[in-house]
Amino acid sequence: MQTIKYQGFKIASNNQQKVDDFLVVEAALQININNTPYTVVMRTPDDDVELVRGLLFAEDIYKKTAPLPYKIIKKDAEVISVINVDISKENLGKGYLNKRTLLSVSSCGICGKQELKDIKVAGNKLEHILFSSENLHKMFAKMTTFQETFKKTGGSHAAAIFDKNQNLLTIKEDIGRHNAVDKTVGDLLQKESLKKGNYLLVSGRVSYEIVSKAFIAKIPIIVAVSACSSLAVDFAKEFGICLIGFSRDQKMTIYSNPNYLNNLENV
């Protein structure tokens, strides 16, 4: 299962309508080696055995040409969530000594619920704020003017944080989307002004990890030029984040907490 249909709220010029969008699925896969947890990777399901084989090869853990013995330990809704591989001690590469830290995430109480309606979950959501969608495009235009590396190379991502009045607080570029976000948060931490951040704008797509970074930084609105993954939407709903994708050409699609926008019709 590589795609899943989610409900969104699409705005194009003066038109507003509910839509059913196909999102790319993002789900966690725990990899055990010899029945001991090794790492958790976020991936799009299918071809999981190939993913594990390639990862262990790249990490210098298993480079033999012989087939890699594996067993599916757990499935969630037909999606593999835990897989174990058996590698004899003599075949374990040096990379196994550099054991990865397992990814730790909060339990997602709403994963798989695909309706746009407000979903009540346990835990502390971010503070609800109201804003106008008209200002989002203006903020993106401002961010674009500062993307000097992208203008020269066409090969960098950007992230920018704005305050509640749509004033630009910081913008950073990097070849990696997550790195750009980390740089913006780090910059505001250095300036002791992270609490002013209300909008996180990103030049690419949004995965669960970027939503998690925004939640930790207590930024309640994420706006992306490109797509959002299924897990990003799930966690945005749980964290109380308004997540918006495809914000370009005077269009946008809202995937979570559309009630944050004060210029919408009843959702």
| Active site positions, annotated | 108
Tokens of 4: 């899943």
What tokens does 52 get? Answer: 């594990």
Q: Is 16 annotated as a binding residue?
A: no
DSSP state of 195: G
With contact defined as beta carbons under 8 Å apart, do 108 and 238 qualify? yes
Token match 């009630």: residue?
Answer: 259
Residue 150 three-state SS: helix
Say whether 247 counts as a known binding-site residue: yes
- Are 225 and 140 within 8 A, CB to CB? yes
* Ligand-binding site membership of 251 (annotated): yes
Residue with token string 């749980």? 238
The DSSP code sequence of 48-105 is HHHHHHHHHHHTTS---SS---EEEEEEETTEEEEEEE---GGG--GGGGSPPPPP--
86 annotated to bind ligand: no
Any binding-site annotation on 249? yes
Residue ranges for the binding site? 246-251
